[in-house]
Structure 1
Amino acid sequence: MTRTPLRPLARILQARASGENPDLIERENLAWRHEVIRDRGRARSEGRLLFLAIFFMLAFSLVGGRMGVIAASQPQEPKAEASGAQILATRADITDRNGRILATNMLTHALYAHPKDMVDPARVARELVELFPDMDQAALEKRFTDGRSFLWLRRVLSPEQMQAVHDIGDPGLLFGPREVRLYPNGPIAAHVLGGASFGAEGVHSAEVIGTAGIEKAMDARLRDPAQSGPLQLSLDLTVQATVEEVLYGGMVMMKAKGAAAILMDVRTGEIISLASLPDFDPNDRPAPITDKTAEPGDSPLFNRAVQGMYELGSTFKIFAAAQAMDLGLMNPETMVDANAPMRWGKHLIKEFKGKNYGPLLSVTDVIVQSSNVGTAHIALQIGGLRQQAFLKQLGFFDPSPIELIEAPGAKPLIPARWPDIVTITTSYGHGMSASPMHLATAYAAIANGGIAIKPTLLKRDTPAQGIRVMSADTAAKSVSMLRQVVTRGTASYGDVEGYAVAGKTGTADKPKKTGGYYKDKVINTFATIFPANNPRYVLIVTLDEPVEDSGPEVRRTAGYTAVPVAAEVIRRVAPLLGLRPEVDFTPVDQITAVVEDNH
């Protein structure tokens, strides 16, 4: 290291030569050196202070930002980092279109045992059987003493049961927290909701998974923690409860084996109500029927509105008339051969009770009178290939796209071949089977100005996009025909004061498993559109094996069974849907004043 001499020799020598004091020069140089050292130290200190200030500012900004993110985020349960499958216990709520709870979660407890920690296994077994009579005391005691270290006893306990078990006071009885699915409205909308059960289970949590209905169809959405908020359905809880109440009353009054009803918004495709009877309580979902000889409809789990495949009878006739008009083959006033009976090869086409509406009927009167023969002649002019194409556009060849796990497996029953006789029978609803949901979708296309849209159980805020299957003019003429069915045809009991109801009845004999049809068992359907002057909703009511026997004659046709039930549904739910009744006011010049004489 080179050391700078303290004295500047040149200046010292010069000062000595001139007689000045060289010590002053040395002190001046020393002061200057100290000043330089102080400046360097000050700069170094200021740099350190600036670095510390920046460091603390960044650190506090990072902490503050993280606290803001945490404050704005949704609270979540901590997740373990251990290997193995995680048990996700949280499941989103399900609400109706107005936010009312249809399905939610409730905290409860499960009961398990550590037999090796039990003080008196015999006493525990005895007291548990007193609390839970379905348990077997001998089997329970044997399991407590066979050497196992862990044993599940009950998956779900009520608070009262939990307290009673706690009072037994044995350290070998333990409780594990559980989230269970709760349906606070009981059986209302049971076939839509379906139900849920436990999947993967642990001591401290259990996975809740959907087992049927929309719970299973939307299981991934309901279990996804990234999806915020409840699953909002298109159902209206008040309307659903009303429809089920009226439908149940109608089923009992008509002595029907079962019933189904669908209420659909024709503009959005939203299902406002979907009911199937008999039903069940999803809080205590019954086991499936194991009897192989039983029919699917014998089980309350069977969704008649979606899974039920029925020959829907004369409700199909409007499709033949609409297609013929849309193809330009006919108009509402076109006269059609309706002379009955009609022979086609070895087949004889007859009218109800052997009637003959012929020799000619207008297309409108074919629908109003529900003429099989007239509809058959319309269908033959259309042809089988064009008939099939039209029915495919209406959705009758594919499973319903509704968001239920049962829907994909419910495919309409279509004839393998399509000769002329199938064209004839299909035109009046025989020979192929479809569900009430298929029928609702097809009628919604007519009510929606000829545009077919997919039905949905999820709430939509805007009209749905669809495909045009007929012109708006054809759709309007079809609705007018259906209105006349109510005002002067087979559905006269369907007229509801204040609401212009349009619709078509359908009475179909039930097919036998061995072939042929029953003479005293029918499926009755009434498909309605209302209000007819500005269609907003489609209502389908189906009754399985109804009988109206209040009079001297037993009647099984839809006009006497399904129609009055549908009319009562409309009368009850139309105000709930915000539809104001149309009132015909009496002109002032026709009002008669009445003076009451009190004397």
Structure 2
Amino acid sequence: MIRTPLRPLPRILEAREKGENPDAIERENIRIRHEQMRDQSRLRAEGRLLVLGVFFLCAFVVVGARMSMLASSEPVEPRAAAPGSVISNARADIVDRHGRILATNLDTHALYAQPPHMVEPERAADGLVQIFPDLDRDRLLRDFTGKRKFLWVKKKISPEQMQAVHELGEPGLMFGPREMRLYPNGKLAAHILGGASFGKEGVGAAEVIGIAGVEKYFDDYLRDPANGNAPLELSIDLTVQAAAERVLYGGMRIMNAKGATSILMDVETGEVISAVSLPDFDPNDRPRPILTGDQGDSPLFNRFVQGVYELGSVYKIFAAAQAIDLGLVSPSTIFDTNEPLKVGGHRIGEFHNKRYGDLSVTDIIVKSSNRGTGRLALMIGPTRQKALMERLGLLHETPFEIVEAATGKPLYPTRWTDVSAVTISYGHGISTSPMHLAAAYSAIANGGRMVKPTVVKQSGPQEGTRVMSANAALQAQRMLRAVVTSGTASMAEVAGYQVAGKTGTADKPKPRGGYYEDKVIATFASMFPANDPQYVLIVTLDEPVETSGDKPRRTAGWTAVPVAAEMIRRVAPLLGLRPQADPLALNEVVLTSGQ
């Protein structure tokens, strides 16, 4: 910028010559200069205001556009992922088919210590051991007097325990809020529910995650806020489950069994109304897995899906039903079971070397003849037999919705030969879980349609695929009824409730090959009411022995059948089934009064 002198010499000289005051020139130049400076400052300020206005306009446009986008988009619940972020500890309830609570949440507290803030660590350790006897006093004292700045003392404490810790008056002992998983019914349905534990943890909250059973299988659903905390509705009936557990526990003790399992299944919907595995546990205090020995001895072992056993003669009805379905035989077709049966160099014998003589197909099932069933299997052939086993779901893991079900994979021969067909026809050479058996028997009970077992409440019957004709299923039902009325399951008769079923007694295999002579798996697979089956009941006992007689008895007819009969007697009224009186013969009718 060119600055004009305030007292220019030519003008000063000219003013003096004219007799004017030179100071007026200076004052005028100062005025002009101030006006120029004021104009420049005004222009600069106006430019800055314009830039600031444009900035605020752009910011307003961006914020408005973002608000419009949020208003038009679907809301999404943020998930905590970064360290230090908020931990979501909400978890939906689990209820039975009638809405009764099986699993819920309970507000509680965790106890932690900050050793640098502790005043009397030794006194605090002594007091904590009195409140929590399972704590190690010496270890607590080492932690309290060492270099640690933080440690968990107890992840879950009761209000009474919290008050007792308060009364210790130790400033270094502090509490963090928790929401723990609570199973108000204790051990009831433990193997179905599984259990939950803490996942991601912070001082102010802890994430509750499923670790077994339906808690783990449906973990994403139970933790999803989008479900609005809607409970997970199971197919289990709490009262039926309680009755089944009570009866099965008593039966296991009376029959001196090391373990037991039962399954009650609706044959139309596939809903599992009750499923019991003993020994069991309390999911509120879930035990640790055993690291040595037989895993089947652990209370965590789920026998109804993880227990893969040779189930014995309960398989014989499949051979009879398939042979009838293929048109190879009728229920009255006669076979000579005394005639020796050799297959692949192996001689097929009967239980205790019995000789049954000529038997119809119905009598083969009633008497439980190995030779008769083997001849049916040879008529069917290995290829067609394996195809039926496939359709019945006996060669794949069951789709039951608990995580343990995926581990219960059936065992069967890689080469399905004639020998395989014969042994499998009477339940040896193939190992499946009781849940597999329940689903397969449901196909017979409902008229030949395969239904998948489910633990989730259903709104109506499943439209299962047909695996056998309705006639074959009906004839199989009649044969199973004859097993109860005149066969190996006579103790299964329950007054007012017709029962149909088949016994199965299989020797337990040794770990290194061969079979035990005094250890069996005893199973009774049944359906009721026999005239219109609505439910299938499977009862399996592990190493039972009935000792009321002169000799110990281990067969299913003496062990599993009485337990199943008592269970039907208890649960049928709870299921809403009315007992039906058997009609009397004419000579039994007595006239008591008349006009």
Q: TM-score range by the shorter chain?
A: 0.7 to 0.9
Normalised to the residue count of structure 1, the TM-score between the two structures is: 0.84
1:411-430 matches, within 5 Å, as: 411-430=409-428
2:364 equivalent to 1:366: yes
| Distance in 2 of aligned mates of 1:296 and 1:514 | 16
Aligned residues: CA RMSD: 2.1
Residue number in structure 2 paired with 1:174:
174
Aligned residues of 1:87 and 1:206 also touching (Cα < 8 A): yes
Q: What is the identity, as a one-letter code, of the residue corresponding to 2:350?
A: E
Cα offset for 1:79? 8.6
Aligned residues of 1:110 and 1:157 also touching (Cα < 8 A): yes
Listed one character per residue, the Cα deviations across residues 454-484 of structure 1 (whole Å, up to 9, x for unaligned) are 1100000111121100011111111011000
Listed one character per residue, the Cα deviations across residues 320-341 of structure 1 (whole Å, up to 9, x for unaligned) are 0111111111111112231254
Distance 1:541 1:340, change over 3 A: farther
2:517 equivalent to 1:519: yes
Q: What secondary structure, in the 3-state scheme, does the structure 1 residue paired with 2:352 have?
A: helix
Q: What secondary structure, in the 3-state scheme, does the structure 1 residue paired with 2:140 have?
A: helix
Aligned residues of 1:337 and 1:377 also touching (Cα < 8 A): no
Aligned residues of 1:450 and 1:469 also touching (Cα < 8 A): yes
Cα offset for 1:589? 8.5
**Alignment partner of 2:395 out of 391, 397, 402:** 397
2:255 equivalent to 1:254: yes
| Distance in 2 of aligned mates of 1:505 and 1:120 | 68
| Distance in 1 of aligned mates of 2:556 and 2:339 | 22
Cα offset for 1:379? 0.2
Cα offset for 1:588? 8.8
Q: In structure 1, list runs of 5 or more residues that go unmatched.
A: 1-61, 67-72
Aligned residues of 1:276 and 1:305 also touching (Cα < 8 A): yes
Distance 1:81 1:252, change over 3 A: closer
Distance 1:258 1:590, change over 3 A: closer
Aligned residues of 2:484 and 2:491 also touching (Cα < 8 A): yes
Residue number in structure 2 paired with 1:313:
312
Q: What secondary structure, in the 3-state scheme, does the structure 2 residue paired with 1:226 have?
A: helix
Listed one character per residue, the Cα deviations across residues 4-32 of structure 1 (whole Å, up to 9, x for unaligned) are xxxxxxxxxxxxxxxxxxxxxxxxxxxxx
Q: What is the identity, as a one-letter code, of the residue corresponding to 1:339?
A: N
| Distance in 2 of aligned mates of 1:522 and 1:558 | 9
Cα offset for 1:149? 2.3
2:91 equivalent to 1:91: yes
Q: What secondary structure, in the 3-state scheme, does the structure 2 residue paired with 1:168 have?
A: coil
Listed one character per residue, the Cα deviations across residues 289-312 of structure 1 (whole Å, up to 9, x for unaligned) are 111xx2221101101111001101
Q: What is the identity, as a one-letter code, of the residue corresponding to 1:384?
A: P
1:379-528 matches, within 5 Å, as: 379-528=377-526
Distance 1:111 1:592, change over 3 A: same
Residue number in structure 2 paired with 1:266:
267
Listed one character per residue, the Cα deviations across residues 350-379 of structure 1 (whole Å, up to 9, x for unaligned) are 111110112x31111111110000000000
Listed one character per residue, the Cα deviations across residues 547-594 of structure 1 (whole Å, up to 9, x for unaligned) are 111011221111111011101111111111111111135589854467
Cα offset for 1:159? 1.0
Residue number in structure 1 paired with 2:279:
278
| Distance in 2 of aligned mates of 1:167 and 1:376 | 75
Q: In structure 2, list runs of 5 or more residues that go unmatched.
A: 1-66
Residue number in structure 1 paired with 2:225:
225
| Distance in 2 of aligned mates of 1:518 and 1:191 | 28
Distance 1:593 1:436, change over 3 A: same
Distance 1:130 1:406, change over 3 A: same
1:120-269 matches, within 5 Å, as: 120-228=120-228, 229-269=230-270
Q: What is the identity, as a one-letter code, of the residue corresponding to 1:283?
A: N
Residue number in structure 2 paired with 1:44:
none
Moved more, 477-486 or 331-340: 331-340
Residue number in structure 1 paired with 2:348:
349
Q: What secondary structure, in the 3-state scheme, does the structure 2 residue paired with 1:452 have?
A: coil
Residue number in structure 2 paired with 1:582:
580
Cα offset for 1:97? 0.3
Distance 1:118 1:462, change over 3 A: same
Aligned residues of 2:325 and 2:468 also touching (Cα < 8 A): yes
Q: What secondary structure, in the 3-state scheme, does the structure 1 residue paired with 2:106 have?
A: strand
| Distance in 1 of aligned mates of 2:507 and 2:415 | 22
2:304 equivalent to 1:330: no
1:554-593 matches, within 5 Å, as: 554-586=552-584, 591-592=589-590
Q: What secondary structure, in the 3-state scheme, does the structure 2 residue paired with 1:558 have?
A: coil
Residue number in structure 2 paired with 1:288:
289
Listed one character per residue, the Cα deviations across residues 439-465 of structure 1 (whole Å, up to 9, x for unaligned) are 000000011110001110000011112
Distance 1:410 1:85, change over 3 A: farther
Listed one character per residue, the Cα deviations across residues 114-159 of structure 1 (whole Å, up to 9, x for unaligned) are 2221122222122222222332333222222323322211101111
Aligned residues of 1:384 and 1:423 also touching (Cα < 8 A): yes
Listed one character per residue, the Cα deviations across residues 195-214 of structure 1 (whole Å, up to 9, x for unaligned) are 11111110111011111111
| Distance in 1 of aligned mates of 2:550 and 2:130 | 56
Aligned residues of 1:483 and 1:502 also touching (Cα < 8 A): yes
Listed one character per residue, the Cα deviations across residues 138-188 of structure 1 (whole Å, up to 9, x for unaligned) are 322222232332221110111111011000111111100111111111111
1:9-24 matches, within 5 Å, as: none
| Distance in 1 of aligned mates of 2:346 and 2:273 | 42
Q: What secondary structure, in the 3-state scheme, does the structure 2 residue paired with 1:262 have?
A: strand
| Distance in 2 of aligned mates of 1:98 and 1:211 | 25
Moved more, 244-253 or 585-594: 585-594
Distance 1:525 1:104, change over 3 A: same
Q: What is the identity, as a one-letter code, of the residue corresponding to 2:147?
A: G
Distance 1:472 1:585, change over 3 A: closer
| Distance in 2 of aligned mates of 1:424 and 1:136 | 60
Identity %: 63
| Distance in 2 of aligned mates of 1:132 and 1:568 | 43
Distance 1:366 1:81, change over 3 A: closer
Residue number in structure 1 paired with 2:296:
297
Distance 1:187 1:82, change over 3 A: closer
Q: What secondary structure, in the 3-state scheme, does the structure 1 residue paired with 2:245 have?
A: helix
Listed one character per residue, the Cα deviations across residues 233-260 of structure 1 (whole Å, up to 9, x for unaligned) are 0000000000010101110110011100
Q: How many residues align?
A: 520
Q: What secondary structure, in the 3-state scheme, does the structure 1 residue paired with 2:210 have?
A: strand
Q: What is the identity, as a one-letter code, of the residue corresponding to 2:341?
A: M
Q: What is the identity, as a one-letter code, of the residue corresponding to 2:347?
A: L
Q: What secondary structure, in the 3-state scheme, does the structure 1 residue paired with 2:167 have?
A: helix
Distance 1:91 1:414, change over 3 A: same
Aligned residues of 1:340 and 1:355 also touching (Cα < 8 A): no
Aligned residues of 1:525 and 1:558 also touching (Cα < 8 A): yes
Aligned residues of 2:80 and 2:87 also touching (Cα < 8 A): no
| Distance in 2 of aligned mates of 1:83 and 1:425 | 59
Normalised to the residue count of structure 2, the TM-score between the two structures is: 0.84
Aligned residues of 2:235 and 2:456 also touching (Cα < 8 A): yes
Aligned residues of 1:340 and 1:357 also touching (Cα < 8 A): no
| Distance in 1 of aligned mates of 2:79 and 2:394 | 48
| Distance in 2 of aligned mates of 1:532 and 1:395 | 23
| Distance in 1 of aligned mates of 2:104 and 2:419 | 52
| Distance in 1 of aligned mates of 2:326 and 2:497 | 31
